[in-house]
Amino acid sequence: MRAEMTWFPVSLVFMQYVIGIPFLVKAIHANYYGGYDVDNWCFHMIWVTIMRLTLSQLWQIYSRLHGIVKKHQISTVGFTFEQIDREFHSDDYIILQALVATAAHVWVPGFRQLPLWDSRGLVTIILLHVGPTEFVYYWLHRALHTDFLFTNYHSFHHASINTEPPTSGVGTFLEHVLFSGVMGIALAGPVIFGGASISMIYLYCLFFDFMKHMAHSNTEIIPITLFKAFPLLKYLLITPSYHSLHHSELHSNYCLFMPLYDHLGGTVNVKSEALHARLREGRAEEVPEFVFLAHCVDLLSSMHVSFVLRQFASRPYSARWFLYPFLVLITPVMFMMWAWGKVFVAYKYTLDKFSCQTWVVPRYGFQYFIPVGLNSINGLIESAILEADKKGVKVISLAALNKNEALNGGGVLFTDKHTNLRVRVVHGNTLTAACILKGIPEDVTEVFITGATSKLGRAIALHLCRRRVRVLMLTSSQERFEAILKEAPKELKRYLVRVTKYQAGINCKTWIMGKWISHKDQQMAPRGTHFHQFVVPGIPEIRKDCTYGKLAAMRLPTQVKGISTCEFSCERGVVHACHAGGLIHCLEGWTHHEVGSIDVDRIDEVWEAAMRHGFSAVY
């Protein structure tokens, strides 16, 4: 039942925070309109909640920054969409604890009229945490691993074998209530013995969350030298690798933050120290067989990466209302990346025995049309290709504008400059063309195409004319049209027709869009027209009496593992055809570069290879 709750509409993602509205109203009234709130409680509850959510977000960013954590990562198995969905409510406990604390503030004697700071309370909290809190948690946790409680409650948390920071907040309602009570033991001490303050709530909540997130972070950050310098510290400080064994092997390492209680209870996993030492020595760098070299699309899409908003990134991208306030942060980051950014790893996955990664050029779509910055972009692409070549990557596939004809000739610039590359450079457009062509019904006898003399437009036109389909090629360049016409067999040249106005397609019901089209020009298409497209971004769907195809994309084979991010606006498990084209190149072991013009003779061959490897087109 809990897993099913994850499929709330995206528009309702933040609805649980409606609970905070009364707190916000009360805080504003008390601080700006002369109202009264004991201890300014609602103001502090809002801020401690914001700080806890921010801390969680920072840990999430850190744990998925491949360049930082790759050396000490505990599990290299990628995360899944199923885990992201299951952990959708990982912040619910923060809301629950704010409500419980507010109830205590109203009804518990001594928990009102609190000073901002009292050092006595801090000492009391430390003593109570080390003693009763850790002790009670340890035995409660062991109880949750008994058959009945584990099967009906705690197994939901342990469904995530490979953990990350949000996993720490995943549990059933019963567990949240119990663990909130455990947390409350230390907070109750200063109330009973004196020294309670507002600051202790901030400090203890943030300490508790920091340690939970660290333990589930999937990267070993505690240096081995720390335990060598202070041997007793191993009884007082949990490490991420220590807790990872609890998730992978279950019946050991039950402690909260202090392994002392596992030692006393005889439940320490014997592998704990060896695993910690091995991970701190560092892993050998994982070399992928395949790299897809993408770029940022627009400012808002910066949030559509797993190390920023993993829930949002696990769904097809669209501009959402809650993203716009982040422009204040995104804009300066964009300028910093423009000045100092380097290619980085966004995510990784495996397909059969092949390790695959998506790297990102730190440039946005609009920057590819600023002349003064083009050399810099080519420099970044070139550095990525050379880095891939140095590491032993087999294939690097260029995405979208990274293979722009005007930028680098579809990759020719790099293969001509570096003639001894071992890595194969691929633009993947052969499969893109195949996807579009296979989406055109066999009984179609005429098509209208814009972007007709582009790399894709040329290949589509030539392939269609071989099928004896009349191609109305919209282009203002007679020279470019004639160059394509020369490539067509003599007996088929009559199927290629140059047109210069949209009115030429007024009787054609199959339009192939390779360039942006205005609302007015769309009206030229007859009723019932189907718009195929390879223009980025896609054209607006304004005609209710017409149908619109998606950008050429392919569903990955079922063997793909560890993918938890949607590729821009693609559905889960779907990638753009040029991405799939690079994968096919790698899977087939082809040794040629696929750059420059599309080889029309290879379109059917590439399509058949895709079908053979279990890919399927998405229309």
* This model's pTM is above 0.85: yes
The one-character DSSP state at 551 is P
| Rounded CA separation 599/529 (Å) | 29
- What is the average pLDDT value for the chain, to the nearest integer? 94
Residue 7 has pLDDT above 60, yes or no: no
pLDDT in tens, 574-610: 999 999 999 999 999 999 999 999 999 999 999 999 9
Partner residues linked to 358 by β-bridges: 292, 347
Tell me, what's the pLDDT at 14? Answer: 61
CA distances from 429 to 81, 397, 453, 578, 581 (A): 28, 10, 14, 5, 7
Task: Please give the average per-residue pLDDT across 505-530, as a whole number.
Answer: 95
Sheet with 574-576, strands from edge to edge, namely: 574-576, 553-555, 616-618
Would you tell me how many other CB atoms lie within 10 Å of the CB of residue 597? Answer: 15
Compute the chain's Rg from CA coordinates.
Answer: 29
Tell me, what's the pLDDT at 13? Answer: 54
Q: Does residue 537 have a cis bond before it (omega within 30 degrees)? A: yes
**Helices and strands, number each (H, E), in the chain:** 26, 15
| Rounded CA separation 252/268 (Å) | 6
pLDDT in tens, 532-571: 999 877 888 999 999 999 889 999 999 999 999 999 999 9
Residue bearing tokens 């892993």: 283
Report yes or no: 380 and 342 within 8 Å, Cβ to Cβ.
yes
Residue 77 has pLDDT above 70, yes or no: yes
In the chain, what percentage of residues exceed pLDDT 70?
98
Tell me, what's the pLDDT at 538? Answer: 81
pLDDT in tens, 446-472: 999 999 999 999 999 999 999 999 999
SS3 content of the chain, % helix, strand, coil (to 5): 55, 10, 35
Tell me, what's the pLDDT at 210? Answer: 98
Tell me, what's the pLDDT at 16? Answer: 76
pLDDT in tens, 352-399: 889 999 999 999 999 999 999 999 999 999 999 999 999 999 999 999
Q: What is the end-to-end Cα distance of the chain in Å, rounded?
A: 33
Of 219, 216, 211, 212, the C-alpha closest to 68 is 219
| Rounded CA separation 254/137 (Å) | 9
Of 523, 577, 519, the C-alpha closest to 551 is 577
> Residues 6 or more apart from 436 whose CB is under 8 A from it?
456, 460, 512, 532, 534, 552
Residue 9 has pLDDT above 60, yes or no: no
Of 54, 93, 44, the C-alpha closest to 202 is 44
Tell me, what's the pLDDT at 5? Answer: 40
Residue 2 has pLDDT above 70, yes or no: no
In the chain, what percentage of residues exceed pLDDT 90?
91
**DSSP element (H, E) containing 448:** strand 446-449
Residue 215 has pLDDT above 60, yes or no: yes
